[in-house]
Structures are given as C-alpha cells and as structure tokens.
Amino acid sequence: MSVRLKGTDSAIMIRWIPKYTTVERFLHWVHTASFIPLALTGFVLFAPWLEPLAQGAAGVTIRLIHRIAAVFFGGVPIIYAILQPRRMVLNLKEFLTFSQYDLLWLKGAFPYYVLGRHEEMPPQPRFNTGERLTAIVLVLGTLIFGLTGLPMWFLKGVMPVWLFQLAVIIHDLMFIITFAMFMVHFYLAVVHPMMWQSLVSMRYGVVSESYARAHHAMWYYGEKRAKEMWEQHRREAGH
C-alpha cells in the first residue's frame, strides 16, 4: 500500500503483514465493549463514595448492565473456541512460551517505554513479554470472574454463605488486578506515542513490515535469525 505524504507529491510504500484474523479483531472489540461496562458497574458497587449510583432503581440498572455485559464477556472465549479453535490453541501456546529474552525485556521495558531507548529491547515473538503476561492474567482472570460471578448470580442463598463471601472478595481482587492492568493496556495501546500501530492492527488486523521488524523480530525474521542479529547488535554496541 502506498501512502501519500501530506502536502507533498512523495509517496511511501508500506508493506502490511497480517497479524490478527477478522474473528480475533471482532472478539477483541466485544471484549473491550463488555469489560469496560463490567469494570465501571462493578466499581459502583465497590467504591463507597459512589453509593448514590448504587441506590434503588439506578442500582438495579447498574447490576443489570453488569449481568448483560458478563454474558458477552464470557461469550468471547467460547465463540473463539468454536470458530477458530486452532488459532486459540496457537495463541495460548505462544502466551505460555518464555525465554531468557523475557528477563531482558522486563529490564529494558522502563527505559524503552518511558525514556524512548530503543536499543535496549531484545527481540520478541509475535507477543512481547508484557503482552504475554497480560494475556495470561486475563485468561485466568476470565475463568476466575466466571467461577465467582456465576455462583454470586445464580447460587446466592443456595450455596453456603462462607463460599459467597469468598467469591465476593476474590471477584474484587480480580477486579483490582485486571482493571489496573487494563489501564496500562489502554495507555500502551491507545495513548503511548510509539505504539500507534497496535490500534491499526486491532482495526485492520495488520502491522507494517517495519513495525514487525522493530517490535517482533522473532516473529518477522524467525527465532534463529533474530537471535543472531541481537547478538551481533550487542557485540557492535560493545557489550
């Protein structure tokens, strides 16, 4: 695809590489559109100072929205497993694959994301360390939200009260973890100046060749080649 630069005649060619399937992009937005209302309606019950919104008819509506959104939220992994089970397994496997480069990534993340020091970052596969950790927390989180939320919904008064109490507190802890994580995710995906292509990829499913090379070298070049390049880069930098 060629892009004409504003106010000039010059054009640049961008080669786009597919990263996500249409189903994945669609489900990602369903996930977003259900997670945000879940977190906000949950927050109303959670935060004492939002008491006025939790009262009476407003509170009934807030709780109803939480339930409707929960159906979509829980539906996402199920639909994904039905429509693209092999992609799902592939992604889950990638989420769970770690190497010594992940420690380097964690060390380099602050200088990179905050101070803009590119050279610190080791090569990464299709999902970088942070993305994989986020994904794992969210997969576990979804299970835990379901395992605590559904009993709170349908088994109140049926299950023993200590179990209900435990479910509330675990649901809340999961809320704190995932909502804080979501803020970071949102910042990196939408706000952070260097990551502008992540939104492109979630809209169109593609990333540019240059972005793939810079951010996901192990995916772009293959693991072996990416590692060789990294070692060479380190030698040249005098490490």
Partner 1 sequence: MTERLAMYIDTSKCMACRGCQVACKQWNDRQGYVPGVRETHNVGTYENPLKLDPQTWTRIKFIEYDDGERFQWLFMKEGCMHCTNAACADVCPTGALKYGPYGIITFERELCNGCGYCSQFCPFHIPQLEVINRLTGEAKSSKCVFCQDRTTNGLKPACVKTCPAGALDWGDRDEMIAKAEARVEVLKNERGFPKANVYGKTQLGGLGRIYVLTAPPEVYGLPADPKYPAISTLWQKIVQPVGQAVFGATILGLVAAFFVARRNVHMEEVE
200 is written with which tokens? 């492109």
Identify which of residues 7 and 160 has a Cβ nearer to ligand HEM in the complex. Answer: 160
Binding to partner 1 (CB under 8 A): which residues in 4-33?
none
Contact 137, 178 (CB under 8 A): yes
What amino acid is encoded at 75 in this protein?
G
3-state class (DSSP) for residue 3: strand
Q: Does 37 bind ligand HEM (CB under 6 A)?
A: no
Name the residue with tokens 């972005």.
211
229, 201, 185, 195: which is closest to 112 by C-alpha? 195
What CA–CA distance (Å, rounded) separates 19 from 224? 20
How far is residue 179's CA from residue 169's CA, in Å, rounded to a whole number? 15
Tell the smallest beta-carbon distance from residue 231 to ligand HEM (Å): 42
Instruction: Identify residues 146-205 at the interface with partner 1 (CB under 8 A).
Output: 153-154, 156-157, 161-162, 164-166, 168-169, 172-173, 175-176, 179-180, 183-184, 187, 191-194, 196-197
Segment interacting with partner 1 (CB under 8 A) among 51-59, 74-82, 143-151, 218-226: 51-59
Convert residues 77-96 into a mask of x (bound to partner 1 by CB under 8 A) and - (unbound).
Answer: --------------------
Residue 81 has which token pair? 């497993």
Residue 75 within binding range of ligand HEM, rule CB under 6 A: no
Would you give the DSSP letter of residue 124?
-
Residues near ligand HEM (CB under 6 A) are: 35, 38-39, 42-43, 45-46, 63, 66, 70, 73-74, 145-146, 149-150, 152-153, 168, 171-172, 175, 178-179
